[in-house]
Amino acid sequence: MVDETPSLPKKGRGAVRNDSGRYERYGRIAIDDGWERPAEVEFPDENRPVTIIGLDTSRTIISHNTSPDIPFDRSINPYKGCEHGCIYCYARPTHAYLGLSPGLDFETRIFAKPDAALLLEKAFRQPRYRPAVISLGANTDPYQPIERQRGITRSVLEVLERFGHPVGIVTKSALVTRDIDILARMAERRLVSVFLSITTLDRDLARSMEPRAATPPRRLEALRLLSQAGIPVGVMAAPMIPALNDHELESILEAAVEAGARSASYVLLRLPLEIKDLFADWLTAHQPGRAKHVLSLVRDTRGGALYRSDFGTRMRGEGPYAQLLEQRFRAAVRRYGLNRHRWDLDLSQFSVPPLADGAEAGGQLTLF
């Protein structure tokens, strides 16, 4: 009988394993061969993972969806993979399409899209393009650490501002405040809104669950700075995890309101595909005393399974626990005066500026 090696925490990382993706021909797991060698000697790459940045050479930048669960039909993700390392991230399974693991690979093998701004301008200049609100960071965070050096997200914002195109931003990073100059100008034209995702106010829990994202106080400070600059801001209390951070729902909303948030939403923990095992491993490594209870409550909200992907319930769950969480959210929203005013972004300002002489952006030069 061969025993798997224990799922040990990796410093600065969310996932504790790097098992093969679902499309790989062969599975890869770490095992104990009986020689009692330390895991860091046996598997050095998995115990001291470093971040590797690759290039994504996609020919398009706007992704489209037809999901009835989300309020936008298009999005831009300047990066594939995310170094924030949030263990619950629903984007993890997408790394399997690249032949990589949704585990440690997802947070250490990052692919940047350096041509994002050029591709976006090319898309906007297509005669058949019609504007609709674009979500920036719908899959992976547009302000993850590598953005400090690459500036791809900022270059995308510059194109959006120049074309008068509305955008909604979701992030866990205080780096968003770097772009207050652009965001404030766009806010004056009703072209932008920003949501900060705040999962917990507990620094220790955040450190293990979202190891390279901004600390909760820094996210609240980012909300405050954006709000003071006249940028409409909201908070996403997501995900709510039964018996782990669900008791913080009201506290998160209250703190966000004090920082300037005027709208709020929440999402119940989602565990599609490989995330089920990754999250269970993380619980065993970081929250062993709560692991069984957390997963039991998750099953209560998913009809006995760890996840169900049905439209209409996948974001909120079902059953008594899910209903109680929704009632608490609605009560807190009323108590703190959230979601009273709808901030509709303006689609009417979209216009295609003329190309400079000799420029190439997927369109034709003007005749005169």
Residues 317-341: pLDDT tens digits? Answer: 999 999 999 999 999 999 999 999 8
Rounded mean pLDDT, 267-272: 96
Mean pLDDT of the residues in the chain? 90
Rounded mean pLDDT, 45-62: 84
Look up residue 76 and give its DSSP letter: E
Give the domain extent around 192.
3-335
Q: What percent of the chain has pLDDT over 70?
A: 89
pLDDT confidence bin for 42, thresholds 50/70/90:
very low
- Say if 120 falls within a structural domain: yes
- Say if 344 falls within a structural domain: no
- Say if 343 falls within a structural domain: no
- Say if 41 falls within a structural domain: yes
- Say if 356 falls within a structural domain: no
The alpha-helical segments, DSSP class H, found in the chain are 39-42, 44-47, 104-108, 116-124, 147-150, 152-163, 180-188, 203-209, 216-228, 249-259, 275-286, 291-300, 320-335
pTM: 0.90
> Would you state the pLDDT for residue 367?
40
DSSP string, 123-163: HHTSTT----PEEETSSS-TTSTTHHHH-HHHHHHHHHHHH
> Would you state the pLDDT for residue 46?
52
- Say if 358 falls within a structural domain: no
Tally of domains in the chain: 1
pLDDT over 70 at 360, yes or no: no
pLDDT confidence bin for 368, thresholds 50/70/90:
very low
Domain of residue 177, CATH code: 3.80.30.30
pLDDT confidence bin for 366, thresholds 50/70/90:
very low
- Say if 69 falls within a structural domain: yes
CA distances from 278 to 93, 160, 197, 307 (A): 11, 36, 21, 13
- Say if 361 falls within a structural domain: no
pLDDT over 70 at 34, yes or no: no
> Would you state the pLDDT for residue 102?
96
